[in-house]
Amino acid sequence: MMNNKCPEIQMKIEVVGYEAIEKKVKATGNSGRIYVPIQWMNCRVKLIRLDPVEHKE
């Protein structure tokens, strides 16, 4: 769980890979989900959050 008192710092991340897609995370129960192509099964992936988290108080 993230500490709400610490500001988020944007950083530059460099990744080498084969394909990139950009999607929005969809709600599912008490977590989120991202669907990827079936061809990606058993492949390693990296998820990078592009937007800051909106903290609701």
Q: pLDDT digit string (tens) for 1-56?
A: 455 566 789 999 999 999 999 999 999 999 999 999 999 999 999 999 999 887 76
pLDDT value for 7: 73
Global pTM reads 0.69
* Tokens 């950009």 found at: 22
Q: How far apart are CA 27 and CA 6, in angstroms?
A: 25
φ, ψ for residue 32, nearest 5 deg = -125, 165
With beta carbons less than 8 A apart as the criterion, state whether 24 and 32 touch: no
pLDDT value for 57: 63
Q: Partners of 33 in the beta sheet?
A: 26
Q: How far apart are CA 16 and CA 18, in angstroms?
A: 7
pLDDT value for 54: 79
Q: How far apart are CA 20 and CA 49, in angstroms?
A: 13
